Chains A and B, each alone.
Chain A
Amino acid sequence: MSAPEQCRIIFRHIDEPGYSNDLACYVRHGGYEILKKSVAMKPEAIVDEVKKSGLRGRGGAGFGCGLKWSLLDRKSGKPVYLIVNADESEPGTFKDRYIIHQDPHQLLEGIMITCFANNVKLAYIYIRGEFPHGARILEKAIAEARAANFVGPNILGTAYGCEIYIHRGAGAYICGEETGLIESLEGKRPNPRIKPPYFPAVLGLYQCPTIVNNVETLCHVKHIADMGGEAFSKIGTPGNTGTRILCVSGHVQHPGYYEFEVGKITMGQLLNDVCGGPLPGRKFKAVIPGGSSAKILKFGERFKGKRKVGAEMVDYDWGVEDVPMDFDSLGMIGTMGGSGGVIVMDDSVNMVEALANINAFYAHESCGQCTPCREGSLWMKKITSRMVHGTARTEDAALLKSVADQIPGRTICAFGEACSWPTQSFLAKFGDEFKQYPETKKAAKPAGALELV
């Protein structure tokens, strides 16, 4: 079965010739009409539509967006803040960049609708420091929108007003974590906060109730407000509604970003039909389906079990190529949809070296606050690094596993999971390669193999 057509909702105008990121172009294409419609609605009604839509957060965890909003402490009398998480930093993910660069007003419209729905008067876009150009584009877009009365006081002649400001990060993956991001925005070291008691919905920015949503998620809100929650929920598959932007990188013919209805495309269709298959003369070896922290999948392995289709439970028996690219299916086979970053590795890649590359990233990005992560990510890096650069010892594979196994669930924030899942899954799927690595290392590298650490 060949791949379905892309369903470009959010990326509708990305790379469209003649489409520019200024307000005039956006308005020509019907921009801010949905905001106009929304401010005439009751805020609660918009929240209801988002709940009905079944929209799940696109940042990584796939948490229900409507549910997240409904957890907000609205009785405290304190202001409610929205923080737009544009700290896109999960390796393998590069969707927000294009929204910000090419269609910033789409994001702003989504933000304003979200703010109106949740009575937010002040929103921040936390954009990663490595997007200086993106930050400037957003600044300009906000200024345009403010001048046109889409942002700022009394928008569109209503009593409602909301400001949006840009806040630039400075090179810290941990700021993608909600509470680390909040600390960073408060001007402190971005150490994630301990939960309880610091759930952002209750004690977020400045100890006020706060929503933190991903860029892609907020763009979806605009389209939900447009088409209604019910219509949106019909896109994609039940429980995995809407579209998903899949970012493919690594060893495929056509890496890039593709927007599909969630769950309507399989990994095989994506990599072979959409991305043109492996590079000439190579074979797919492994793929990380949802950003570098997602557990790796090995081509050739099979996944069997029962899953719910409609009201029924049906058997499934999938190869990697057969897995539908949705939150639940990827979850069922032990990995995750995460941030939608698909990293493909072919048979030229040595998995020990690939893991050493990933471990160096996580050791560099650990905030250092809690023991298992600070010391554990360091040791995972040190052990894989000494495998590659020093004397690889056969027992190191077991040692590495024991380090990785003791991190998830023990840390203050989800970075613990993010940093240990690669090691756990690489060892589980490619254990032999780790055991044989002392021998592999002695042999010459295969032709075309690149240095990874």
Chain B
Amino acid sequence: MFNLSELENDALVEVFNIGVGQAASSMSGIVNETVRMSVPSISFMNRADAGRMLAGGPDLAQERICGVSQNYDGAFRTEAILMFPEDKSLEIVRLMVGEAVPLKELTEMEQEAMCEIGNIILNSCVGTLANIFQRELQGSLPRYHLGTSDEILTATGSQDDTVLMLHIDFVVERQQIHGYVAFILGMSALHDLKDQINQYIARAMGQA
């Protein structure tokens, strides 16, 4: 399985923390409450393992997850998916929208709200990555998914098999919610990522 050195990992985690930090700033502007987001850790795994991990256990494999996905293309290609377990998604919507609604009744309007939240967070993460790597990308509008973890991870039919998984801690109104961002990447994108991280570190160290 693809992996990074400790230093490369540290750099990437820091980049994502900056990304979600800026997203949190945006979101706090929307709800007028303090919003904190951080990425405590990242890991690389194949899609099957990612599905299992997100399901949280074999008996929970059929539990539904709410996901918002966006495609990115250009300097590298990836599908990025923000995911929360079903009950946590409604917490997020409730916190952001200020209403208590059962998820089965999540109306189109509230799905749209979830899409915007995904749009803010994913654009922030990928944007920071693109800036630091000084690369140009283009992105798509967000799409809403509700299904099992396997269904969501295979929704686009991408053949790429490696998942860069970000663990996300999300805190609003003293409520802490744990979610995930998954980047589905192919081999060449992964090696490109590793290269770019090293160049970034070298540039900062005045060595490039």
- A, B assembled together: no
> Which A positions have Cβ atoms within 8 angstroms of B?
none
